[in-house]
Amino acid sequence: MVILGVDPGVRFAGFGIIKKEGAVVYLLDYGCLIMPQSSELHHRVAMFNDFFATKITQWGVTDLALEIPFMGKNAQNFLKLGYVRGILYLLASKHNLDLHEYAPTQIKQAVTGFGGADKEQIARIIHQLFPKLKATARADVTDAIAVTLCSLWKSHKSQSIKC
């Protein structure tokens, strides 16, 4: 099982890819796709598609995990988020991936044990689990890894974790 977790955005998109072999979980790849704000939205959406299509193929991804978004104060941002989420749905279909979505409280509960945890608490746990993760990793990255782990733990019980 290889899971790609994505914290999507039209400017920054965090991702984490983990592989489960037996009882061991490996962090294969992680990072943040940074798309230039000066690029038109349709160009950023194309960049997003190409980047994640490559990651899916490169790592043999079998599952895609996403956080269920909530409507914030800015409807325009929520609409733009829908564009990249649509790309992820399309990629899941084209690559025959199992798609898993989790509420923010489910992810926080799975990773920290507390459904009301803040981003710093999530980042701290992710860094404890994966000590080789760069300390400067953006919240987009640690959030994406948290989504990935939530998906793994909701579907399988894992005992040990290695980088």
CATH assignment of the domain containing 62: 3.30.420.10
pLDDT for 72 equals 62
Estimate the crossing angle of helix 104-112 against helix 139-155, to 10 degrees.
Answer: 80
Mean of the pLDDT values across residues 76-89? Answer: 83
Per-chain mean pLDDT for the chain: 87
Q: Judge whether residue 161 has pLDDT over 50.
A: no
Higher pLDDT, 66 or 132: 66
Identified catalytic residue from 101, 118, 140, 143: 140
Calpha distance 17→7 (Å, rounded): 12
Higher pLDDT, 78 or 83: 83
Q: Is 67 a known active-site residue?
A: yes
* Cα three-residue angle 13-56-12, rounded to 5 degrees: 5
Q: How confident is the model at residue 76 (pLDDT cuts 50, 70, 90)?
A: confident
Higher pLDDT, 110 or 160: 110
Domains: count for the chain: 1
Q: Is 50 a known active-site residue?
A: no
Mean of the pLDDT values across residues 23-49? Answer: 92
Give 45-65 pLDDT, tens digit per residue.
999 999 999 999 999 999 999
Domain membership of residue 44 as a residue range: 2-162
Q: Is 140 a known active-site residue?
A: yes
